[in-house]
Amino acid sequence: MARPRTKEDLISESTKGYNDLIGFISSLSDKELNTQFDFSSLNKSETHWKRDKNLRDVLMHLYEWQQLMLHWVYENENGRPRQFLMDGYSWANYGEMNILFFERAQEVPLDKAKELLSQSHNDIMALIQKYDTEQLFTKNVYSWVGGSTLGQYFISVTVAHYEWALKKLKAHKKIVAAL
């Protein structure tokens, strides 16, 4: 489907993406859940194919990016200018930030990761509700958003990230089935 362009589509696609992801996770067998990720046979060059080792890593990655969004909006809406990415990071080196997220996730149990993502998703959905379509999808409504739209950021941390996670988990399932 085309990327959302209205508040209603953003809510619908974010909800669908999350539900599809959670539904797929629920369908995974114990073997699929307990087999470490190994995507080396796919010959993918993106760092994340080597970084994430299990479902917890993927869920915590989603959680961390949603937390960035929540804090970014909250701070800027309350008159405290803040960039989207963590201090010290830019779009040129955000991969290093993803490694930090990965490292922070290593002591988080899978059940806790599921719980954190569920709460984060709910918080993101509640935040979307505060805005109308114009506020979400018109450029230059908020100076702190830059040349994009607030909606694009929401799409990134929900719809697009849920698609990314599902693609990764489906690849893992296929690899495990071939073992």
**CATH at 125:** 1.20.120.450
**Residue 33 resides in a domain:** no
Asked if residue 27 belongs to a domain, the reply is no
Q: What is the C-alpha to C-alpha distance for residues 44 and 122, in angstroms, rounded to an integer?
A: 32
Q: Return d(Cα 168, Cα 54) in angstroms, integer.
A: 10
Q: Does residue 38 form part of some domain?
A: no
Check: CB of residue 28 under 8 Å from CB of residue 173. yes
| Residue 61 domain flag | yes
Let me know if residue 93 belongs to a domain.
yes
- CA 102 – CA 52 distance, rounded (Å): 7
Whole-structure pTM value: 0.96
Supply the mean pLDDT for the chain: 96
Q: Is residue 37 part of a domain?
A: no
Write out pLDDT tens, residues 101-146.
999 999 999 999 999 999 999 999 999 999 999 999 999 999 999 9
Which positions ≥6 away from 23 have C-beta within 8 Å? Answer: none
Structural domain boundaries enclosing 77: 7-15+47-177
Mean of pLDDT values over 36-47: 91
Total domain count for the chain?
Answer: 1
Asked whether 154 and 128 are in contact (CB, 8 A), the reply is: yes
Q: Within a domain: residue 110?
A: yes
Nearest CA-CA partner of 69 in 160, 157, 161: 157
- Whether 100 is covered by a domain: the verdict is yes
